[in-house]
Amino acid sequence: MGRLAILGALHEEIADLLAAMDPGTTIHRIAMRDFHVGTLWGTPCVIALSRIGKVAAAATASIVIREFQVSRVLFTGLAGGLHADVDVGDVVVASSLMQHDMDARPLFDQHEIPLLGRVRFDADAGLSALLHDHAGQFIRARGASAAIGRATLAAPNVHLGLIATGDVFVSHNDEALALRKRLPDALCVEMEGAAMAQVCYEFGIPFAVMRVISDRADHAAKTDFTAFLQNVARVYTAGIMEPLLKSGALAGD
Ligand code: ADE
């Protein structure tokens, strides 16, 4: 039976998951990272902090796949909203991911991963549907407005669509605008998902990405991101994952 790998870029994004792992969890240190191997809410898991960025995410994904017999990889954390419909407090589940900073023109088309012949990587439809359903249930049950106290979070939504990844924290209005123009269907921007996705694609391992929107990738991104990271990120991740894992949906293959 393969494990579920759960990866996050910052400690706060996975802290409550680590705290909830069963006693007897073992920690394996590889390449300056701790891999926590054990059971989380009835599901065999390996949980790791990747650190930020595409290289960090790719390295961590490669390690979990090669060392810990994983059958699926989930990346969870925060993202900046790009699409007009995606606001702070919403949840985005990836249907596919792409690397917005990949540009080997004129040798290859913009965004194409050289010698792989692909721009987008499709997330596992079944795992993504489960995440989407459970994110919706979580948001309906408790909402996010109480957690952060901002009027704009009054009615958070869950979206399924394209996530754009790059080695850039987008925090200027003009950068966000340029991305929105170039990638009109991208829902949000983050710094790891499509790198993990490329590695999983190359290994033939199903994967999913779930992101909570912490900011609008604009001039206020740093302040919003920091507040969200401290106050909300962990609540969302654990709140969505606990019922999903307890349902046993991911425990049996
Ligand atoms: N993760 C959360 N907010 C982000 C932003 N504005 N840019 C890139 N990654 C992010």
Per residue in 140-192, pLDDT (tens digit) is 887 554 445 443 456 789 999 999 999 999 999 999 999 999 999 999 999 99
The contacts of residue 253 (CB under 8 Å, 6+ apart) are: 1, 2, 71
Catalytic residue among 112, 190, 192, 215: 215
With H, G, I as helix, E, B as strand and everything else as coil, classify residue 173: helix
Domains of the chain: 4-246 (3.40.50.1580)
- Residue 56 phi/psi, 5-degree rounding, is -60, -45
Pocket of ligand 1 (CB under 6 A): 78-80, 169-171, 189-191, 214-215, 217, 221, 225
Judge whether 12 counts as a catalytic residue. Answer: no
The 10s digit of each residue's pLDDT in 4-27 is 999 999 998 899 999 999 999 999
